[in-house]
């Protein structure tokens, strides 16, 4: 058995020394009484002194007085030495036995290092509590670092699958469970995506989300199940080829409007799940909610951007003052201007001069009143070529302020075809008119030709009328 130092032992030793001092003090009082009885070396008068001197004799009396004086001196020296010894002992005890261990403890606390036991029972009790606190702080720091790493990793991701994989990989390390999974729900609370880690592989068929999974989805706090087999929500069997789940920790992933749209699961942790695990899963799910919603928004934006970039029509966005902030690739293809050339420039870069100020004034009056404007532009390309554009412009309010979106379709070819059609229609009308006139004229000529032939047959060639009638006939024949 190891005998350890104790503060109580040292206190008892100190009390013993103080009791010794009290005993010496009692002796001093006794000698003081003798001094008062025999006098101070015979110099101080005492009513008892003559009586004692008479009994024992002057020489013996003087010898006793001398002894008393020597005893007093010795007692005073002993008291002084005892006091000095107590002071030295106390200093040594406080400095070597208490101060040094305390300074050691304080130094290690400041440096957040584990503290070795000092050998003093009372201090070691404190040391153990401090070590436990340091370990808890280190573990909590590791948790925060893990959460930070997860947040940084998720910030760099863009797709939903990449985000989910980052979450489950980092969370599995933090929770240290054998199995883990993350799932997303549909609008009707069914699984639409499930990513797993551990012995369980990604299933070919998504689970229905009933039983314990539904119990977790409806929970507002982390669900810790120490024995899945005995839980009331357990269906009684696992799917085919599914590993046996012994213990389980799960928590929903809530959207910004408070609706559960996914969940995080951990299973089969040796020793069971702790309160720290519950803290971690809540923090991870909070970060996951932001990251997943961000990834979904980015996915939608990418789809919209792909649609806009591949659109045949020109799409141009300006701020409220008419300065261009965005154009799609169709704009460059049509006008010859790249986005870099027109960014932060006004749309009048496209003006051709075919529209008067009244046209643009009416356009802006329509837009500033909050209405959409529809019409046609005659614009000029970068190379100076004129083109026609059928346009729709409408205001859009965002967090950044008021913007105007312009959608244009190049109708130059349609305009050319229309003009050709008009010309063709004009030519057709002229042809129809000419045909009608020719038909009527032919009717007139037929009569002239027929009657002129009859007259020529009746009139002799020498007749004065023969020549004029011949001219009429020949003209009708031509």
- Model confidence over 150-163: pLDDT tens digits? 777 666 666 788 88
Residue whose C-alpha is closest to residue 106's, from 125, 91, 126: 126
Query: What pLDDT score was predicted for residue 276?
Result: 85
Query: What pLDDT score was predicted for residue 478?
Result: 63
Using the predicted structure, report yes or no on whether residue 52 has a pLDDT greater than 50. Answer: yes
Using the predicted structure, report yes or no on whether residue 361 has a pLDDT greater than 80. Answer: yes
Query: What pLDDT score was predicted for residue 64?
Result: 63
- Dihedral (Cα; 355, 360, 362, 363), 10-degree rounding: 110
Using the predicted structure, report yes or no on whether residue 223 has a pLDDT greater than 80. Answer: yes
Of all residues in the chain, the percent with pLDDT exceeding 70 is 71
Mean pLDDT to the nearest integer, 175-192 = 88
- Model confidence over 67-113: pLDDT tens digits? 666 666 676 677 677 767 766 666 666 666 667 777 777 888 777 77
Mean pLDDT to the nearest integer, 296-303 = 85
Q: In what order do the strands lie in the sheet with 314-319?
A: 324-327, 314-319, 401-410, 386-398, 373-380
Q: Which residues contact 114 (CB under 8 A, 6 or more apart)?
A: 108, 131, 134, 135
The mean-pLDDT minimum among 42-51, 231-240, 345-354 falls in 42-51
Query: What pLDDT score was predicted for residue 226?
Result: 92
Q: Where are the alpha helices (DSSP H) in 310-389?
A: 329-335, 339-342, 357-368
Mean pLDDT to the nearest integer, 6-24 = 56
Query: What pLDDT score was predicted for residue 45?
Result: 47
């Amino acid at each position: 058995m190891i005998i350890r130092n104790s503060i109580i032992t040292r206190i008892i030793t100190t009390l013993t020394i103080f009791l010794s001092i009290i005993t010496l003090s009692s002796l001093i009082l006794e000698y003081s009484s003798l001094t008062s009885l025999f006098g101070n070396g015979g110099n101080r008068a005492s009513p008892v002194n003559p009586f004692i001197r008479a009994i024992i004799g002057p020489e013996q009396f003087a010898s006793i007085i001398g002894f008393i004086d020597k005893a007093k001196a010795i007692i005073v020296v002993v008291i002084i030495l005892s006091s000095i010894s107590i002071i030295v002992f106390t200093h040594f005890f406080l400095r070597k036995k208490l101060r040094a261990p305390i300074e050691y403890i304080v130094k290690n606390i400041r440096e957040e290092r584990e503290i070795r036991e000092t050998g003093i029972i009372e201090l070691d009790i404190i040391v153990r509590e401090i070590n436990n606190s340091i370990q808890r702080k280190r573990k909590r720091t590791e948790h925060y670092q893990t959460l930070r790493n997860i947040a940084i990793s998720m910030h760099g991701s863009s797709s939903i699958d990449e985000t989910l994989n980052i979450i489950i990989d980092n969370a599995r390390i933090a929770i240290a469970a054998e199995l883990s999974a993350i799932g997303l729900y549909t609008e009707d609370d069914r699984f639409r995506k499930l990513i797993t880690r551990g012995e369980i592989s990604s299933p070919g068929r998504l689970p229905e989300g009933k039983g314990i999974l539904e119990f977790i989805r409806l929970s507002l706090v982390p669900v810790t199940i120490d024995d899945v087999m005995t839980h009331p929500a357990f269906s009684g069997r696992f799917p085919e080829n599914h590993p046996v789940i012994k213990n389980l920790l799960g928590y929903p992933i809530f959207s910004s409007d408070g609706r559960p749209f996914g969940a995080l699961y951990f299973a089969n942790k040796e020793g069971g799940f702790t309160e720290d695990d519950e803290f971690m899963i809540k923090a991870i799910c909070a970060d996951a909610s932001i990251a997943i919603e961000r990834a979904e928004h980015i996915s939608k934006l990418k789809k919209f951007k792909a649609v806009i970039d591949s659109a045949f029509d020109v799409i141009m966005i300006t701020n409220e003052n008419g300065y261009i902030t965005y154009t799609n690739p169709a704009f460059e293809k049509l006008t010859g201007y790249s986005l870099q050339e027109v960014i932060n420039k006004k749309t009048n870069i496209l003006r051709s001069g075919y529209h008067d100020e009244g046209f643009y004034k009416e356009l802006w009056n329509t837009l500033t009143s909050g209405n959409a404007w529809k019409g046609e532009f005659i614009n000029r390309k970068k190379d100076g070529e004129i083109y026609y554009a059928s346009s729709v412009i409408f205001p859009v309010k965002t967090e950044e302020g008021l913007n105007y979106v312009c959608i244009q379709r190049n109708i130059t070819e349609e305009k050319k075809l229309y003009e050709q059609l008009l010309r063709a229609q004009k030519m057709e009308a002229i042809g129809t008119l000419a045909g009608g006139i020719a038909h009527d004229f032919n009717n007139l000529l037929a009569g002239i030709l027929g009657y002129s032939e009859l007259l020529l047959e009746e009139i002799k060639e020498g007749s004065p009328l023969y020549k004029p009638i011949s001219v009429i006939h020949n003209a009708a024949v031509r």
